[in-house]
Amino acid sequence: MKILGVSLIGLVVGLAMLSVGFWFIERTWPALPRRRRPSGALRTDLIFWFATPFSARMAQFAAALLAAVVIVLVFAVGLSCGTSLL
């Protein structure tokens, strides 16, 4: 299933692989050995991993749309004045 061009299965597989890798690193060489992980940290991590690719894709589309609108307006103003602004 693809949502906005991002495969949900790819996200799950990537999340699982990175989770195992970072879990191993954190257990082997903890940055703060005596500090406990907050209870809501897993939920926050999951929301971040699933929301970031979708929001990045939307931001990329919005930026491309804005650039296209600016280019069209620059050429439209130039054509209506009889001279090109570029």
Identify residue 56 by its one-letter amino acid code. A
Q: Of 2-11, 21-30, 42-51, 56-65, which gets the smallest average pLDDT? A: 2-11
**Rounded Cα gap, residues 18 and 22, in angstroms:** 6
Question: What's at 77, amino acid-wise?
Answer: V
**pLDDT tens-digit readout, 34-86:** 777 777 777 888 888 778 887 888 899 999 999 999 988 888 776 666 555 45
Confidence band for 3, pLDDT divided at 50, 70 and 90:
low
57 contacts 3 by C-beta, under 8 angstroms: no
For residue 13, which of 47, 45, 48, 50 has the smallest C-alpha distance? 50
* DSSP 8-state secondary structure symbol assigned to residue 26: H
Instruction: Give the global pTM.
Output: 0.44
Please give the DSSP secondary-structure letter assigned to residue 54.
H
